[in-house]
Amino acid sequence: MMIPFKTKRPFLSRQALLRNFMITVIGLMIATLLSAVFFLLSHNTANIAIIYVLAVVIIAQNTEGYGCGIVASLFSVAFINFVFTYPYMELNFILDGYPVTFLGMTIISSLSSTLTTHLKEEIQLSNEREHMLMEAEKEKMRANLLRAISHDLRTPLTSIIGTSVSYLEQADRLDESQKTHLVKAIAEDAQWLLNMVENLLSVTRINDQTASVNTALEPLEEVVSSALQRFYKRMPGAKVQVSIPEELIMLPMDATLIEQVLINLLENAVYHSGSQSPTSLSVDTDGGFAHFHVRDHGSGISPDRLDTLFDGYTSMQNHSSDSHKGMGIGLSICKTIINAHHGQISARNHPDGAEFIFSLPLGENTYGS
């Protein structure tokens, strides 16, 4: 996606012109009143020049385009000469020293106005570029989610259709154990689809405009406990070793979304590790962040997939009966949720398997009493 670095300046509307005019007039009136006070107290024209230069900068900063700042600069120079310089109430630029003084003030005022306006435009352009980059990232996220959905939904749906057709066509030739096996396979695939639907629904809790979530201080121990309860309902036979800090830690988060992240990572660890060893879930705090670690004891992740693991299209193969199920949509949504919490998520291999780590920033009043 190309980002333009220069845009044609549009014509100002009547409302914008009126606003510019009012700001310019009011700014110059305030500068004149302050200058009159200084002049009556000290008769020092240098202080008056500084007041008008400051007024010019403020006018340029709060108006659109270059015109108002330049007009204010020229007016200030002429007005100082006419009102605050002897002979009073006369324009006279030919007295000794005046041409250099007022030429210098004109240049300083005009440059200040121009530089201020230019800086304001650069800031606005930078904000526009940042907004466009954010929109491009959001479009990329949507594309990745759609690609993951098309892959991860198609596989279990195809399996459900194939298994149900086999059951219906061969019902008379199947014994009870075979029928139970087919029905169990349908139930597992249906549960997998339900999990993916829950993942998709969780994304709707993220604000589409700001890519952020509404957070509240939640106790770490309760969030982990709730996630484990939901996880065990889906996978009653799974084993998880848990290690969290003993002190009460309050984290700013959307608890439902973080529970979804934990469930996704735990399910992936069980499905794709190819190991019967317990999965470990541990939490520690360091450097202003709470770090969540989910470790399995399996074959690990192929190194060429680590960089694209969270992009939304990853079908990790293992040696379990569930190897047909992909990781793409779950990990992509994990990344979306963690990014919305201003955190980070990554994956790496350790000597005995794979490890997923995500970090959430600690807020104020993190440690409860």
Q: What is the pLDDT of residues 34-62, one digit of tens each?
A: 888 888 887 776 678 788 888 887 887 78
CB-CB contact of 143 with 320 (8 Å): no
Q: What is the mean pLDDT of the chain?
A: 80
pLDDT for res 293: 97
Predicted confidence (pLDDT) at residue 321 exceeds the cutoff of 70: no
Phi, psi of 84, deg, nearest 5: -105, 5
Region 244-270 average pLDDT:
91
pTM: 0.56
Output the pLDDT for position 290. 95
Q: Write out the chain in H/E/C secondary structure.
A: CCCCCCCCCCCCCHHHHHHHHHHHHHHHHHHHHHHHHHHHHHCCHHHHHHHHHHHHHHHHHHCCCCHHHHHHHHHHHHHHHHHCCCCCCCCCCCCCCHHHHHHHHHHHHHHHHHHHHHHHHHHHHHHHHHHHHHHHHHHHHHHHHHHHHHHHHHHHHHHHHHHHHHHHHCHHHCCHHHHHHHHHHHHHHHHHHHHHHHHHHHHCCCCCCCCCCCCEEEEHHHHHHHHHHHHHHHCCCCCEEEECCCCCEEEEECHHHHHHHHHHHHHHHHHHHCCCCCEEEEEEEECCEEEEEEECCCCCCCHHHHHHCCCCCCCCCCCCCCCCCCCHHHHHHHHHHHHHCCCEEEEEEECCEEEEEEEEECCCCCECC
Domains of the chain from N-terminus onward: 14-132 (no CATH), 205-361 (3.30.565.10)
User: What confidence tens digit (pLDDT) does each residue in 136-195 have?
Assistant: 876 776 676 666 666 667 777 888 999 999 889 888 888 889 889 999 889 888 877 887
Q: Place 365 in a pLDDT band, splitting at 50, 70 and 90.
A: low
The stretch 89-99 carries a mean pLDDT of: 63
What was the pLDDT predicted at 285? Answer: 92
Q: What is the pLDDT of residues 95-139, one digit of tens each?
A: 555 566 666 666 766 676 677 777 877 888 888 888 888 778 767
- Which pLDDT band holds residue 343 (cuts at 50, 70, 90)? very high
What is the arithmetic mean of pLDDT over 7-28?
A: 78
Q: What is the pLDDT of residues 275-312, one digit of tens each?
A: 788 999 999 999 899 999 999 988 888 888 888 888 76
